[in-house]
């Protein structure tokens, strides 16, 4: 019974979250990214560690033909970078590619590069002066 109630709560929260993004068009939805990370404050060597999102996704959305957003699911639920207060700037467009810089705060930045032709996403993260400093590089297959 407890699992059933938890499932109903999850379905309700999932539907409510998706409703807030309903006006946006999804350009690409990508599988959970995999890659490597380096933790400069805890590293005992110069080796990078395997890292990634587990059971999540990342989606590129656009609203009103100009406002991009990155929607993602992680262990805590579904989130919108823009709704979370992150500044998103399109910093590059190509024939079939798009790069978006996500500025979380002064020293936390992510670069999302979508290869729309080959359905790939490449992410570079730089998180410094936070609880756990981290530099990462991820890639994902998109639909």
Tell me the CATH number of domain 24-141, given options 2.40.128, 1.10.10, 1.20.120, 1.20.950: 2.40.128
Does 16 have pLDDT greater than 80? no
pTM, full prediction: 0.81
| Distance from C-alpha of 134 to C-alpha of 117, rounded to nearest angstrom | 30
Burial of 73 (0-12, 13-18, 19+ CB in 10 A): middle
pLDDT at 2 > cutoff 90: no
> Which tens digits make up the pLDDT trace of 75-94?
889 999 999 999 999 999 99
Where exactly are the structural domains of the chain? 24-141
- Other beta carbons within 10 Å of 113: 17
27-37 per-residue burial string, b: 16 or more CB within 10 A, e: under 16 = ebbbbbbebeb
Cβ pair 129, 122 in contact under 8 A:
no
């Amino acid at each position: 019974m407890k699992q059933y109630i938890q499932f109903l709560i999850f379905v309700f929260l999932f539907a409510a979250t998706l409703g807030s993004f309903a006006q946006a068009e999804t350009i690409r939805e990508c599988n959970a990214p995999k890659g490597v990370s380096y933790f400069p404050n805890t590293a005992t060597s110069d080796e990078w560690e395997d890292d990634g999102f587990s059971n999540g996704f990342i989606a590129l959305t656009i609203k009103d033909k100009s406002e991009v957003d990155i929607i993602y699911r992680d262990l805590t639920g579904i989130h919108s970078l823009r709704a979370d207060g992150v500044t998103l700037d399109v910093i590059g467009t190509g024939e079939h590619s798009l790069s978006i810089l996500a500025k979380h705060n002064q020293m936390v930045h992510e670069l999302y590069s979508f290869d729309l032709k080959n359905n790939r996403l490449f992410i570079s993260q730089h998180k410094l002066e936070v609880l756990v400093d981290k530099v990462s590089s991820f890639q994902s297959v998109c639909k």
